[in-house]
Amino acid sequence: MSLVELIVQADERGLAASGVACLDRCLPLLADEGEVLRPLWSGIADGAETWAPRLAAARETMEAAVISDETAVLVRKMLAAAPSEWSAEPLRAWSDSCSVVALEIHQQFDVVGDRAIGAAGTVAAGAYSDWVERCRTGVADGGEGKPGIGPFTAGPLVSGELRRQIQILEILSETAGAAGLRQALDLSIEGRRVLRAVVSRRTRAQG
């Protein structure tokens, strides 16, 4: 099942966790990431009862975090756009947006794969929309113009992010309670470590 299909079928718990997990994996872009989103994971476990207040607290913490660049600003905006309402449709729209932005962010740090760099050397907004949607729908180029399933001309960082997004939604649809959320969090922590290592290498190379 494609990522888009999984998002369409997910319930409130799966959608909220999927969106938060996308943000969690992008936290290494913040100079002072700390444990900004950890309380929000607990809010997902309790559902409508604590989601809104935990979300408000996470937003306040994120606003106080040191932002290192424009890409990190996107992470802050993604959290700011999260719906306070514990309802499937607004959570689905938000989760879907988080999925796209997380893939685009990972592509900017990937070592290989399609890029859309402007004249000034920056990535244009929405430049990856075509290949991102092909990755998310599972309709991608298998190489040499042959149809295939999976990331198309995507590097290992994007491929790993896509895989984690799919795995988290599958886990949460199959595993109830705190166990499923714990597995989803573990996957996000793994992805965060990967991106942190890439960001650190790039920082050292530029220094």
Query: 37 by DSSP, 3-state: which?
Result: coil
Could you give the CA distance from residue 148 to residue 48 in angstroms, rounded to a whole number? 40
Q: Which residue has the higher pLDDT, 115 or 154?
A: 154
Q: Which of 157, 123, 158, 122 is nearest to 3 (CA)?
A: 158
Give residue-wise pLDDT tens across range 6-29: 999 999 999 999 999 999 999 888
pLDDT band at 182 (very low <50, low <70, confident <90, very high): very high
Q: Are 40 and 52 spatial neighbours (Cβ–Cβ below 8 Å)?
A: no
What's residue 203's pLDDT? 76
Could you give the CA distance from residue 71 to residue 198 in angstroms, rounded to a whole number? 15
What's residue 119's pLDDT? 32
For the cut 70, the answer to whether the pLDDT of residue 174 exceeds it is: yes
* DSSP secondary structure of 71-125: HHHHHHHHHHT--SS--HHHHHHHHHHHHHHHHHHHHHH-SSB---B-TTSSBPT
Strands 147-148 and 140-141: antiparallel
Q: Angle CA(186)–CA(192)–CA(195) in degrees, nearest 5?
A: 150
Could you give the CA distance from residue 126 to residue 7 in angstroms, rounded to a whole number? 20
Name residue 147's beta-bridge partners.
141
What's residue 32's pLDDT? 60
Could you give the CA distance from residue 110 to residue 194 in angstroms, rounded to a whole number? 11
What's residue 44's pLDDT? 92
Could you give the CA distance from residue 80 to residue 10 in angstroms, rounded to a whole number? 22
Structure tokens at 61: 């913490």
Model pTM? 0.84
What's residue 147's pLDDT? 42
- Residue reference for tokens 């050397």: 121
Query: 2 by DSSP, 3-state: which?
Result: coil
Length of the chain: 207
pLDDT band at 91 (very low <50, low <70, confident <90, very high): very high
For the cut 60, the answer to whether the pLDDT of residue 55 exceeds it is: yes
Structure tokens at 49: 């009862």
For the cut 60, the answer to whether the pLDDT of residue 140 exceeds it is: no
